[in-house]
Amino acid sequence: MSEVVERIAIVGLGLIGSSIARGARTYGLARTIVAIDRDPAVIERVRALGLAETATCDPVEGVRDADLVILCVPVGAIGAVAEAIAPHLKPGAVVSDVGSVKAAVVAAVAPHLSDANTFVPAHPVAGTEYSGPDSGFATLFSNRWCILTPPEGAEASAVERVRSLWQGLGAIVETMTPEHHDLVLAITSHVPHLIAYNIVGTAADLEEVTQSEVIKFSAGGFRDFTRIAASDPTMWRDIFLTNRDAVLEMLGRFNEDLSALSRAIRWGDGEALHELFTRTRTIRRGIVAMGQETAEADFGRARGGAPSGSVRSESALPDVAVGTSRHGAGS
């Protein structure tokens, strides 16, 4: 049975923030939900949707008396948000986040918090390429991973409060250090996004292929790359800048493997190609076996339409302090 939080404040009501609000309401995880966003239009929409008991553009008023505060903002803005709200947190309040990068987030947030408050970073590895308060849904985190990276010596009850929330939302919770998280996510999420952005950009630059042809013949792999490349630009700019060391390390390894693949193609080494493709197919089957993707034909896509219930990425928010939550595909 998940712990019920008396008062939860969600800063940034985009895809992730609004999904947390919906899930907390649906599963009875909080008695009072407070929505905070710097965009008045978002707050107006949150009220219309009935996502929270209180909705405000004022972060100071919003976090007052909250037992758990979740920062659903881009990692580039999270330090400024933490600095703004820290003096107004009640003693014992726990602060968490949903960012795709953890070491940089810890460095940006922790210095602003007093000893009376504990920061328990979290990363729900779930999302879609859609954004805004209308894009969220209560089951977004169901059977998806959520990684906690609590600092050494973090109060056990604070960690449990955050763990209980995510388990209540249906997530499978894993714990690791911030540095290890960033290395793992660099290869499983960040580099794939970088490759997707690059491939789509290359196709757009090819003078021999018109834009209409790219769109017309995108039913294959290119279509899947475009979904990832539709992710929120602000969020992913911040991710690559704040996790640059791990991303560059993984890109170096990727380039080495790509060179080996190029040699195999150049020299007609069919055996090497078949061995690689067999290994990668096994990995894909393992992902399906763990329930992290559908085993349906054509990856669960509806005929002639968009993917049905495909899993994408993570969450984020404004360009400034307490901003409009956009957040899209990724993680």
What is the C-alpha separation between 130 and 132, in angstroms, rounded? Answer: 7
- Using DSSP, state whether 23 is helix, strand or coil: helix
What is the C-alpha separation between 102 and 171, in angstroms, rounded? Answer: 18
Q: What confidence score (pLDDT) does residue 39 get?
A: 96
Instruction: Write the CA distances from 302 to 28, 163, 192, 222, integer angstroms.
Output: 33, 35, 24, 18
Q: What confidence score (pLDDT) does residue 284 get?
A: 73
What is the C-alpha separation between 22 and 139, in angstroms, rounded? Answer: 9
What b/e sequence results for 59-90 when a residue is b if at least 16 CB atoms lie within 10 Å of its CB, and e otherwise?
A: beebbbebbbbbbbbbbbbbbbbbebbbeebe
Alpha helices in the chain (DSSP H): 15-26, 40-49, 59-63, 78-85, 103-109, 156-168, 178-185, 191-205, 211-216, 221-229, 233-242, 244-266, 270-289
Q: What confidence score (pLDDT) does residue 19 get?
A: 97
Name the DSSP letter for residue 134. Answer: G
C-alpha 130 chain-centroid distance: 12
What is the C-alpha separation between 189 and 175, in angstroms, rounded? Answer: 18
CB 5 within 8 A of CB 165: yes
181-300 folds as 6-phosphogluconate dehydrogenase C-terminal fold (1.10.3660)
Dump pLDDT digits (tens) for 161-188. Answer: 999 999 999 999 999 999 999 999 998 8
CB 285 within 8 A of CB 292: no
Q: What confidence score (pLDDT) does residue 294 get?
A: 55
What is the C-alpha separation between 293 and 287, in angstroms, rounded? Answer: 6
User: Which residues of the chain are under the pLDDT cut of 50?
Assistant: 303-330
Instruction: Write the CA distances from 315 to 70, 114, 133, 137, 259, integer angstroms.
Output: 12, 26, 12, 13, 33
Residue 207 tokens read as 């003078």
For residue 301, the number of C-alpha atoms closer than 13 Å in the C-beta half-sphere is 11
Sign of CA dihedral 110, 99, 252, 271: positive
Q: What confidence score (pLDDT) does residue 316 get?
A: 32
CB 293 within 8 A of CB 108: no
Going from N- to C-terminal start, the domains of the chain cover 5-176, 181-300
Closest CA to 122 of 172, 88, 76: 172
Query: What is the pTM (predicted TM-score) of this model?
Result: 0.76
Q: Euclidean distance between the first and final Cα of the chain, in Å?
A: 28
Helix (H) / strand (E) element for 6: namely strand 5-11
C-alpha 307 chain-centroid distance: 19
**Which residue is listed with tokens 């078949």?**
274
Q: What confidence score (pLDDT) does residue 71 get?
A: 98
Sheet holding 118-119, edge to edge: 54-56, 30-36, 5-11, 68-71, 94-97, 118-119
3 C-beta neighbours (distance < 10 Å), count: 17
The CATH number of 5-176 is 3.40.50.720
Residue 298 tokens read as 């054509």
